[in-house]
Structure 1
Amino acid sequence: MESTWKLRHVGIPVRDLDKSLKDYRSLDLASFQPEFLIDSSKFAEYKVYGKTPDPVVKTRAALGKMGPLGIELLQPLEGETVHKELLESTGEGIGHIAYAVDDLEAETAKLVEKGFPVILSIRVQGQTRRSAVYIDTRNKFSNLIIELIQAN
């Protein structure tokens, strides 16, 4: 059966967002939107390994395009986060591949059923369902994490 998942971006944890943006721009490799701050306290739900982080998690981020490919650069600032863990364990480089899905809950359940745990769960304010999840597929797929994002 063919997947209906749609590729959104690759996520790349970096130690220095300013340097990474400068490097990409110096080679005319990608164009980026203005950077933004991911602050776990601003979400209706933000759970890392099933728990609300204390203290909060803060990450600087920038979204860009390299040809048709979406890129998300992520610099962990505060708190324990998946991106910080990736930097410490494998260094800079592609950490996750993100896909938009029509039914986040159903697709998440399929992967959990196959033994892949949810390691990050996010729900934005005003939403009743989760907005995005990170699924830990590192032990099966070359140390990569899958992010599923609710389409729409």
Structure 2
Amino acid sequence: MEKNILNTNVITQIGIMVKDIEKTSQVFANFFGVETPEAFWTDELDKARTEYKGSSTKARARLAFFNMGSLQLELIQPDENPSTWREFLDEKGEGVHHIAFEVKGLTEKIKIMESKNMPLVQKGEFDGGRYAYMDTNNDLKVILELLEID
């Protein structure tokens, strides 16, 4: 058996693409009997340094997070700029976009995954860390997000 590429098997987040984050957040909050989280916009390009398919993009998304014990549900409503978020919503509609794992050594993990024909689709930064979406659809049937937290 091959060594665990990510050095973890703990899923930390499930990302769900939505068309209306306010409405969907309220439905989730009602279902789970919790408060509705406030949705917020991701940072602009100068801070987020977002790249999609190797090119800089102004893509942003509204996010809302539900902390559900050891797992976080992330609702994502993309803007119209090119991104994995926009592509997913346009091509597949609403639904599960990714599962995320917290990793150490993000750059190294990206290189390892790319060597296994799992290319980087999008990457960016946020306060306290950075992320990378890897196209693992052919093998794993879902996008993997790698999160590196400072």
TM-score normalised per structure 1? 0.84
- Displacement of 1:117: 1.0
> Within the alignment, does 1:18 sit opposite 2:16 as a pair?
no
Structure 2: runs of 5+ lacking an equivalent: none
Partner of 1:150: 148
Distance 1:30 1:42, change over 3 A: farther
> What CA RMSD, in Å, does the superposition of the two structures yield over aligned residues?
2.2
Deviations 1:26-46 (A, max 9, x none): 212655542210134242521
Task: State the alpha-carbon separation in 2 of the partners of residues 62 and 73 from structure 1.
Answer: 5
Identify if the C-alpha distance between structure 1 residues 67 and 52 changes in structure 2 by more than 3 Å, giving closer, same or farther.
Answer: same
Give the whole-Å Cα distance in 2 for the aligned partners of 1:23 and 1:124.
Answer: 27
Kindly tell me the number of residue pairs found equivalent between the two proteins.
Answer: 146
Moved over 4 A (4+): 29-32
CA distance in structure 2 between the aligned counterparts of 1:115 and 1:93, rounded to whole angstroms: 24
Q: List aligned pairs for 1:70-109, cutoff 5 A.
A: 70-109=72-111
Matched residue SS, 2:136: coil
Query: Structure 2 CA distance, aligned partners of 1:89 and 1:116?
Result: 20
Aligned sequence identity (%): 26
Is the CA contact (8 Å cut-off) linking 1:35 and 1:62 kept in structure 2?
Answer: yes
Residues 25-36 of structure 1 aligned to structure 2 (within 5 Å): 25-28=29-32, 33-36=37-40
1:8 aligns with 2:6: no
